[in-house]
């Protein structure tokens, strides 16, 4: 059975072939990795990145057979499937003698490739990996991540992914709903990396107006635009030697995506108004609550940027799918809030914990933290269901709803009836957006594509109250 945990390294100097195989493996549920030459592929293998390799034979520099020999010296159990446009029994025999799992000819039969890959991975699971070199700092970061997120199998998988990719220079895409802890995972990748002594610079792509993206990312020179009294570095320069974390990358305008892709590929850029290129050395980690593959199909996200960023992916399931983590997080927030408030609330009652486990948590970790903090504030000894404010509490209509019944419109002029109808729809959209974002007004404003001042005005207009404590991004 294939798993998204299985990482398949595609090695071919033909980019079109890599793209076809990338799509095929993604569709089959694997995590594809790509190298365009044998030297890069060998370095990835030495870092323990792939679970299996699909390599072309004929490549400039280190060819497929040379890669096969070197890979087998490092990890004899690593399955390597060889592909070539020059079929022949002699080549197949040589590849098998050198340790290849199998040998396929171009044009590839995709079903045959997937079937052989499944068999190879099944055999791989019977042979343990070469143990990784231990590093106290690295291991401490991974241990801390598990402590923060929980004991579930999903978190163990996430921690394993972080441990695996951290020391590479791969770009990473972190997928997860709002509030699942994407920035926490990004921080762990940086802290466990070889760049940990430098800085991780976070950028919220959903909070930057389209007209300011270029100057925010790449900086500007004095006099580049009205008000630019002096030059300023952008986030790229600030992250030099470290990590640049682009949160909610799916909100980045297409025009900015093109400029970002160029900067990533060339590792250099021009400040706004500048004439000299600025060169940087950084690692890129991005996060999104959208399906970028779907966004590519819809034309809202650059296909080239998607493939450039997706060297490695980490998926964080929503908290409702990680029951063990709900218990862990609730108790962790209970202890932390006790310290903060100098209280001694002992625990959750069984009925209270049952409520927490059955709730669907649309705001994920951030919402759990808010609910538990409020419960500790109210409780004296044990938290009961009465102390748990869930669901509607984060977004509470405090004024009367616009009249919805058709009979209320009887006798009204058309213009007034339409106005009331539009008000109902607008109010419903506001409440739904706030519910989807766990009561986070900044996120809701971005979801609705309005500025935060407009959102605030609308909330007052319709009498919708949002708890201010729910408006932080601590669980992102």
User: What is the arithmetic mean of pLDDT over 263-271?
Assistant: 86
In percent, how much of the chain has pLDDT > 90? 27
User: Given this model, what pLDDT does residue 416 score?
Assistant: 62
Q: Domains along the chain?
A: 7-125 (3.40.50.2300), 136-317 (3.40.50.300), 320-389 (1.10.8.60), 396-471 (1.10.10.60)
In percent, how much of the chain has pLDDT > 70? 83
Dist. CA 54–CA 309, nearest whole Å: 21
Specify the higher pLDDT residue, 408 or 227: 227
pLDDT in tens, 305-318: 999 999 899 999 99
Taking the chain, what is the end-to-end CA distance rounded to the nearest angstrom?
Answer: 32
* Helices (H), ranges, 315-451: 323-341, 350-358, 364-378, 414-436, 441-448
Point out which residues pair with 288 in neighbouring strands: 175
Specify the higher pLDDT residue, 447 or 355: 355
At residue 419 the predicted structure's pLDDT band, cuts being 50, 70 and 90, is: low
Dist. CA 102–CA 116, nearest whole Å: 8
Token pair for 358: 């059955």
At residue 458 the predicted structure's pLDDT band, cuts being 50, 70 and 90, is: confident
Helix (H, G, I), strand (E, B) or coil at 83: strand
82 phi and psi angles, rounded to 5 deg = -100, 140
pLDDT in tens, 401-418: 444 333 444 555 666 666
Helix (H, G, I), strand (E, B) or coil at 35: strand
Of 43, 81, 80, whose CA–CA distance to 61 is shortest? 43
Contact in structure between 127 and 59 (CB atoms under 8 Å) = no
Q: Which of 44-48, 203-207, 373-377 has the lowest mean pLDDT?
A: 44-48
User: Given this model, what pLDDT does residue 208 score?
Assistant: 83
- CA dihedral of 291, 294, 296, 299, whole degrees rounded to 10: -120
pLDDT in tens, 149-184: 998 999 999 999 999 999 888 999 999 998 899 999
Count Cα neighbours of 211 within 13 Å in the Cβ-side half-sphere.
Answer: 1
User: Given this model, what pLDDT does residue 473 score?
Assistant: 44
User: What is the arithmetic mean of pLDDT over 44-63?
Assistant: 84
User: What is the arithmetic mean of pLDDT over 123-129?
Assistant: 60
User: What is the arithmetic mean of pLDDT over 82-102?
Assistant: 66
Whether omega before 369 lies within 30 degrees of 0, making that bond cis, reads no
User: What is the arithmetic mean of pLDDT over 105-114?
Assistant: 84
> How crowded is residue 274: how many other Cβ atoms within 10 Å of its Cβ?
16
**Beta strands at 172-176 and 200-204: parallel, antiparallel or unpaired:** unpaired
Give every CB contact of residue 282 below 8 A, 6+ residues apart in sequence. Answer: 195, 236, 239, 240, 241, 242, 243, 244
Radius of gyration of the chain (CA): 26
User: What is the arithmetic mean of pLDDT over 201-208?
Assistant: 86
User: What is the arithmetic mean of pLDDT over 374-383?
Assistant: 92
User: What is the arithmetic mean of pLDDT over 330-335?
Assistant: 92
* Average of per-residue pLDDT values in the chain: 81
């Amino acid at each position: 059975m294939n798993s998204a945990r299985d990482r398949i390294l595609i090695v071919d100097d033909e980019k079109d072939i890599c793209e076809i195989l990338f799509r095929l493996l993604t569709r089959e549920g694997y995590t594809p990795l790509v190298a365009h030459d044998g030297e890069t592929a060998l370095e990835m293998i030495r870092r323990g990145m792939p679970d299996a390799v699909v390599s072309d034979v004929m490549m400039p520099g280190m060819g497929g057979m040379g890669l096969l020999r070197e890979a087998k010296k490092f990890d004899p159990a690593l399955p390597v499937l060889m592909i070539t446009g020059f079929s022949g029994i002699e080549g197949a025999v040589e590849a098998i003698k050198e340790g290849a799992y199998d040998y396929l000819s171009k044009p590839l039969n995709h079903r045959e490739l997937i079937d052989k890959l499944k068999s190879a991975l099944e055999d791989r699971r019977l042979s343990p990996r070469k143990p990784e070199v231990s590093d106290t700092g690295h291991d401490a970061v991974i241990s801390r991540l598990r402590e923060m997120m929980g004991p579930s199998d999903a978190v163990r998988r996430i921690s394993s992914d972080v441990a695996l990719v951290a020391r590479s220079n791969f770009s990473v895409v972190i997928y997860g709903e709002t509030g699942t802890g994407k920035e926490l995972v990004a921080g762990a990748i940086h802290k466990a990396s070889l760049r940990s002594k430098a800085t991780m610079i976070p950028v919220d792509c959903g909070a930057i107006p389209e007209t300011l993206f270029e100057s925010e990312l790449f900086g500007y020179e004095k006099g580049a635009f009205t008000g630019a009294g002096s030059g300023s570095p952008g986030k790229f320069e600030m992250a030099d030697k470290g990590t640049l974390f682009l949160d909610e990358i799916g909100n980045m305008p297409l025009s900015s995506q093109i400029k970002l892709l160029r900067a990533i590929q060339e590792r250099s850029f021009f400040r706004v108004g500048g004439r000299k290129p600025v060169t940087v050395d950084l690692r890129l980690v991005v996060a999104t609550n959208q399906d970028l593959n779907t966004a590519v199909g819809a034309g809202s996200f650059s296909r080239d940027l998607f493939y450039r960023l997706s060297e490695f992916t980490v998926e964080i399931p929503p908290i409702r799918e990680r029951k063990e983590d709900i218990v862990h997080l609730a108790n962790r927030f209970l202890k932390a809030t006790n310290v903060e408030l100098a209280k001694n609330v002992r625990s959750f009652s069984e009925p209270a914990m049952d409520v927490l486990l059955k709730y669907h948590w649309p705001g994920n970790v951030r919402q759990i933290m808010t609910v538990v903090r409020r419960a500790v504030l109210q409780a004296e000894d044990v938290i009961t269901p009465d102390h748990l404010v869930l669901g509607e509490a984060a977004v509470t209509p405090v004024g009367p709803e616009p009249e919805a019944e058709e009979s209320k419109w009887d006798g009204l002029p058309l213009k007034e009836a339409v106005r009331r109808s539009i008000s109902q729809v607008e109010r419903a959209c506001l409440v739904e957006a706030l519910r989807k974002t766990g009561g986070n007004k900044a996120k809701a404003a971005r979801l609705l594509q309005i500025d935060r001042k407009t959102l605030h005005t609308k909330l007052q207009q319709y009498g919708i109250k949002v708890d201010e404590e729910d408006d932080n991004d601590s669980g992102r």
